[in-house]
Amino acid sequence: MCRLFGLHAGPGPVRATFWLLDAPDSLSAQSRREPDGAGIGTFDANGRAHVAKQPLAAWEDHAFAREARVLKSTTFLAHVRYASTGAHTMVNTHPFEQDGRLFAHNGAFGDLGRLNQRLAGLGVADLVHGQTDSERLFALITAESRRAGGDVGQGITRAIRWVAEELPVFSLNFIVTTATDLWAVRYPATHELHVLERKPAAGAEPAPLDARSARIHAHSRDLSRFAHVLIATEPMDPNPGWRPMGPGEMVHVDPDLAVTATFPFPEAPAHPLTLADLDPSAAASQKP
């Protein structure tokens, strides 16, 4: 299953170090669960998006994901991919960038032909460069955000409502970031997504952020002194403040770290999919 990680550090940029393959299990176990791509998205002081990513097919060198990457940004978006659609190529590797925003997705849905027609009708087919369902979902969100005058939350709501009504859906969990805002969606209940609002640590020597999952590790000494918000596929430390997002929940984190949760989507997709409905490769990519 793909791993998602989003971090909003507040109004000022901070330094953070990332490893995208930091699992403590054995090399023999890792060899059976190596990912198909890994990437990190950030924003510079002028608000421009930057993405460092690499397709990690089994025959490629995994040094990109295993080596420490020190980055500075107000928001961070990391993704480790297990492919459900599309080859192990750069254009299919997350995060994706469109209109100065970054996007990463964990899930699967069907009838991409119908979605391609929708994108063509909205005039955004040129935003899609690869074969993934994820990039197409992002293009739909981008199109609806444009139609909403740049309101990303409204664009997400319109896009997911259309997909939920018109396409067969297994999971649509994703994170969208800009230099100032972060949005996260869990839809429907298929996969979990978790939120942590982390306050500055108390004490003379406050503890730095040190968040680890089975595949993503983020460390930041800067964030010992500042509040921040984390979004992740699974809780990444023992902090009891982690909470699972509800099915159908959209979380928005604004520039001042105010967190707003809404439930703007249908309770369930009109055409739900199960693992048994997916082709073998897609089903394998969606297992925890």
Query: E-assigned strands of the chain?
Result: 3-8, 14-19, 37-43, 49-54, 69-73, 75-81, 96-98, 101-109, 168-177, 182-186, 194-198, 209-212, 217-220, 228-232, 243-244, 249-253, 259-262, 271-272
* CATH classification at residue 81: 3.60.20.10
Q: How many domains does the chain have?
A: 1
> Which residues, listed in sequence order, are joined to residue 98 by a DSSP beta bridge?
101
Distance CA 251, CA 187 (A): 12
Percent of the chain with pLDDT over 70: 84
Q: What is the radius of gyration, based on Cα positions, of the chain?
A: 18
Give 232-264 pLDDT, tens digit per residue: 999 999 999 999 999 999 999 999 999 999 999
The domain in which residue 117 lies consists of 3-286
Looking at the predicted structure, is the pLDDT value of residue 206 above 70? yes
Q: Is the pLDDT of residue 183 over 80?
A: yes
Where do the DSSP E strands lie in 110-200? 168-177, 182-186, 194-198
